[in-house]
Structure 1
């Protein structure tokens, strides 16, 4: 031991060095695991991946009423490996998908398109995630953009609480405010769910639901049927 060094200081330095090595080793193990492991179900994904909100790559298979079905694609797939087709049940975290939103996703995301899932919460066999894509199709604004937020900007979803996520956590409030801001912008611009009817559309709906108009239509149909007989 060099002169003037306290043994306690030396021990602390050794502990720090070992901790750094341990962290590097763990990071390397995690990276290797992510690169070659295919997740067939939500239960296959390690809890630490969910807690750290790690992103995984996938291939879009189906669009459902509540979200997406995605096949997980490891970053590195050995040439001789064989994987059976298994799909992850994915929900768009923080938003309540509408029928209009479902149609919009179907128009923007193409079958077998690559998507990235930032894992937020696992609920049984469902993954609540931030979905992003590098799409270069008709709607270029989707390029490298969070689908959850983009669909909110179009007024096709309603912001909802993050199921299973600690409401006091930093990520909860950061995402919640972000989606609320997008929803408020859509409401302000009258998009999607907040689209206002024009004067003519309102007048047409009033006439359509007017009892007198309905009675006249019924009388016209009845008289037309009588004449034909």
Structure 2
């Protein structure tokens, strides 16, 4: 009763369509949850992510939760996460994907989850890394360790979201570095980000992580651009 009254007096909006949420709904409304374009790549093992990085980096596993389309509900969802202060969306999406990945043998072998870092200036302006909650939630479901101190972004680059998949920006490739961390040698690392577009950012991070001896590498993102 009190919860229903609270929603009536202070209604919360769906982060996908901006309509008011019902008391039984959380973060996104039932309609959006059923219409968000899920890739289900990990369920069908269709190598969706591996195909993007073919000939560039070797991956054990790869998946994205959603397909990303301009002016679609996923763009609205991620815009609310990155630019409107709704950091809680990150954990919500991590829980969503993590529950599914935790049932799959290939992902149960993951030891460490590492989020793609953002530049300190961008973090100061935004107040958080939009991928951190996603990474932490995934690590909990996969019973892995969340590590956010190995990858460092030293160059403040422009977004890759609206670039074509093959218009890779060379400035991204040397924007990241790793701190010396031999404790990750031989581990299976899951590298995570919000949107996979050109693949330049994830490739740059992967190339740095692959300097660590004998690691295995997988990738998971919130969305992948079509």
- TM-score bracket for this pair, using the shorter chain length: under 0.3
TM-score (norm 2): 0.20
Higher relative CO (Cα under 8 Å, sequence separation at least 6) belongs to 2
* Larger of the two Rg values belongs to structure: 1
TM-score (norm 1): 0.20
